[in-house]
């Protein structure tokens, strides 16, 4: 990958983080999460009632590589609030259960409870290409 392509991708990711008060980099989309961790994080954000932007990292492997270079965080999902990395699924879950997530998001009177269970993630059917 050229330095120009790397810099453009990194700049686009940084711009998205800067321009969106709450942004979630995830596998899949909020309507169709592609992993349980992303599904749980979306479910938590929806439960507290916050609006958020989302970026699917799956279509282009450069997104994940450049995001991890920016955040210095290896796993997905990654939640940013006010341009700062908050964390991944485990941290978001702990913050939700303690009430700290609502405080970070500036939400008053948000429920404090065990994290909601996400809807089941549907796996894509396995496709086998026979090259015999």
Query: Each residue of 6-54: pLDDT tens digit?
Result: 689 999 999 999 999 999 999 999 999 999 999 999 999 999 999 999 9
Q: Is 36 part of any domain? A: yes
- Answer yes or no: is 61 within a domain: yes
Residue among 13, 34, 5, 30 at smallest CA distance from 85 = 13
Domain that holds residue 46: 3-105
The domain that holds 88 is classified in CATH as 3.40.30.10
Query: What tens digit of pLDDT does each residue of 64-84 get?
Result: 999 999 999 999 999 999 999
pTM (predicted TM-score): 0.81
**Structural domain count, the chain:** 1
* Beta carbons within 8 Å of 102's beta carbon, 6+ residues apart: 48, 96, 108, 110, 112
């Amino acid at each position: 990958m050229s330095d120009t392509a790397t810099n453009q991708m990194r700049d686009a990711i940084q711009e998205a983080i800067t321009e969106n008060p709450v942004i979630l980099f995830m596998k899949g989309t909020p309507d169709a999460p592609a992993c349980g961790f992303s599904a749980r994080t979306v479910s938590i954000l929806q439960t507290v009632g916050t609006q958020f932007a989302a970026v699917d990292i799956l279509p282009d492997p450069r997104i994940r590589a450049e995001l991890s270079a920016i955040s210095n965080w290896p796993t997905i999902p990654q939640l940013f609030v006010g341009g700062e990395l908050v964390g991944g699924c485990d941290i978001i879950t702990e913050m939700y259960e303690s009430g700290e997530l609502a405080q970070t998001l500036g939400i008053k009177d948000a429920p404090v409870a065990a994290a909601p269970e996400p809807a089941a993630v549907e796996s894509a059917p396995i496709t086998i290409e026979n090259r015999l």
